[in-house]
């Protein structure tokens, strides 16, 4: 097998600044866009960020239709509703106002509106779907994030629950990237504390996973440049963005959760989310994310505070970070120096640390942050037990796109042990 020798850097354009949401209508008008589909969720539709977006469109005489039925943690069923809404009308572009769930839903609606497939699973990542590449350029998509976590405004990835398998999967292609991400700290003021915590922990895991992922030079070389995946493995450019995201998060995550009025902390966290998005959007994520998909998909009755109470849910950032300490203890022997660098960026003291200590130091620092944010104590804290491990492993194994980027090879036996270690942390 020949290994790759190149990586690509691809990301959306980003505009950061207080009040930049009010510029959206002018951006669309300058591009000649006359009619858009605006996507958001039922709760956010009543809050200032959506009001600001719709006002900016009206001032520029841009017609819009509001779809406010985005599901937090989308499913294939909820995506189909957005697709049907899009296909029922004619649109020049799409606007997403919300967290990763909304932005990902908009990416999928745009794709299936512009290039309708024969079957829903055609574009979905293999082995669950066929993984057919996106045929061409999509309609302009403008993303206005209201949570400081997913970094979806920078990436060509959309994630959802595939209900039939009770597991998460997604669609990944550079052409899904938003045209512009409007990163406006004013829009995060409506985030409740647990939402701020979970989305912030998604930033944390994005950054560590991409920084410690298998190097791009260990990935098989594609036959053509166009077949080079969005998730390429760790590389020198992604490393810079990921490590800086951790440094920004270290001094601001706790502040942003504990004091929603701390504009500086919330603004920095929003920018850190975009930084981490640029990092993982090109390097990829690994075991904590791969393991999180069945954790979210198999949820029994858990509903955290500050989230919708109409259906059981394990928020994405929570599902990921609950696996993270155990996963990083496992991956640390493959690249201990990088695990120690990540721990140091998060504020851990690594003076005198030995390579064999890397996994312990990093995992203990993450657990310390989890405790400060009042997260559940491992997977047992959200209703899982050791008897669930076989199904959790079964739901993780199909996540080839991410678990194959683990710097240390992993199979069913190793995953079972990591899930065992993730049941209780303190």
| Spatial CA neighbour of 269 closest among 324, 197, 320 | 197
| Spatial CA neighbour of 337 closest among 363, 356, 365 | 356
For CATH 3.40.50.1970, list the domain ranges present in the chain. 19-183
Question: Phi and psi of 95, rounded to 5°?
Answer: -130, 125
| Spatial CA neighbour of 297 closest among 73, 130, 69 | 73
How far apart are the C-alpha atoms of 238 and 279, rounded to whole Å?
4
How far apart are the C-alpha atoms of 237 and 384, rounded to whole Å?
38
pLDDT for 169 equals 85
Global pTM value: 0.90
Helix (H, G, I), strand (E, B) or coil at 121: helix
Q: Which of 2.40.40.20, 3.20.20.140, 3.40.50.1970, 3.40.50.150 is the CATH number of 19-183?
A: 3.40.50.1970
Work out the pLDDT band at 359, boundaries 50, 70, 90.
very high
**Across residues 178-184, what is the average pLDDT?**
95
Work out the pLDDT band at 1, boundaries 50, 70, 90.
confident
pLDDT for 275 equals 95
For CATH 1.20.1090.10, list the domain ranges present in the chain. 193-421
How far apart are the C-alpha atoms of 246 and 248, rounded to whole Å?
5
Total Cβ atoms within 10 A of residue 41:
23
Q: Convert 406-422 into a string of H (helix), E (strand) and C (coil).
A: CCCCCCHHHHHHHHHHC
pLDDT for 139 equals 98
pLDDT for 57 equals 98
Bridge partner residues of 281 (DSSP): none
**Across residues 190-199, what is the average pLDDT?**
89
**Across residues 59-70, what is the average pLDDT?**
97
Work out the pLDDT band at 145, boundaries 50, 70, 90.
very high
Structure confidence by residue, pLDDT tens digits, 108-136: 999 999 999 999 999 998 888 999 999 99
Is the per-residue pLDDT at 297 higher than 90? no
Q: Give the least confident one: 71-85, 141-155, 234-248, 382-396.
A: 141-155
Query: CA torsion sign, 118 to 119 to 123 to 126?
Result: negative
Q: Which CATH superfamily is domain 193-421 in?
A: Dehydroquinate synthase-like - alpha domain (1.20.1090.10)
Percent of residues in the chain assigned helix, strand, coil, to nearest 5? 50, 10, 40
How far apart are the C-alpha atoms of 378 and 381, rounded to whole Å?
6
**Across residues 269-292, what is the average pLDDT?**
94
The residue that leads in pLDDT, 83 or 298, is 83
How far apart are the C-alpha atoms of 196 and 151, rounded to whole Å?
14
pLDDT for 28 equals 97
């Amino acid at each position: 097998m020949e290994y790759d020798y190149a990586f690509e850097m691809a990301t959306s354009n980003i505009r950061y600044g207080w009040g930049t949401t009010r510029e959206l209508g002018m951006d669309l008008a300058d591009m000649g866009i006359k009619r858009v589909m605006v996507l958001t969720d039922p709760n956010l539709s009543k809050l200032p960020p959506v009001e600001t977006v719709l006002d900016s469109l009206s001032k520029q005489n841009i017609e819009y239709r509001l779809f406010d039925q985005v599901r937090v943690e989308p499913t294939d069923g909820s995506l189909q509703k957005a697709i049907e809404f899009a296909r029922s009308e004619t649109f020049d572009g799409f606007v997403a106002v919300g967290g990763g769930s909304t932005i990902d839903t908009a990416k999928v609606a745009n794709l299936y509106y512009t290039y309708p497939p024969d079957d829903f699973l055609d574009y979905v990542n293999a082995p669950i779907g066929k993984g057919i590449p996106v045929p061409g350029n999509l309609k302009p998509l403008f993303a206005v994030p209201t949570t400081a976590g997913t970094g979806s405004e920078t990436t060509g990835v959309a994630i959802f629950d595939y209900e039939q398998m009770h597991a998460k999967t997604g669609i990944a292609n550079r052409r899904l990237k938003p045209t512009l991400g409007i990163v406006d700290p004013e829009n995060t003021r409506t985030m409740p504390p647990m939402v701020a915590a979970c989305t912030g922990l998604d930033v944390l895991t994005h950054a560590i996973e991409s920084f410690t992922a298998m190097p791009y030079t260990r990935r098989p070389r594609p036959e053509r440049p166009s077949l080079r995946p969005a998730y390429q493995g760790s590389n020198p450019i992604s490393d810079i963005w990921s490590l800086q995201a951790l440094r920004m998060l270290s001094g601001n995550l706790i502040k942003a959760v504990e004091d929603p009025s701390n504009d500086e902390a919330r603004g920095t966290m929003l920018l850190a989310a975009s930084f981490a998005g640029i990092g993982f959007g090109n390097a990829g994520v690994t075991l904590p994310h791969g393991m999180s998909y069945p954790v979210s998909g198999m949820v029994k009755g858990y509903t955290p505070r500050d989230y919708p109470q109409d259906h059981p849910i394990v928020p994405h950032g929570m599902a990921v970070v609950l696996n993270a300490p155990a996963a990083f203890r496992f991956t640390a022997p493959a690249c201990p120096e990088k695990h120690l660098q990540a721990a140091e960026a998060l504020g851990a003291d690594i003076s005198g640390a030995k390579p064999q200590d890397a996994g312990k130091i990093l995992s203990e620092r993450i657990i310390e942050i989890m405790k400060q944010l009042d997260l559940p104590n491992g997977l047992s804290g959200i209703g899982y037990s050791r008897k669930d491990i076989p199904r959790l492993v079964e739901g993780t194994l199909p996540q080839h796109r991410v678990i194959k980027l683990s710097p240390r090879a992993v199979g069913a036996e190793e995953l079972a042990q990591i899930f065992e270690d993730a049941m209780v942390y303190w």
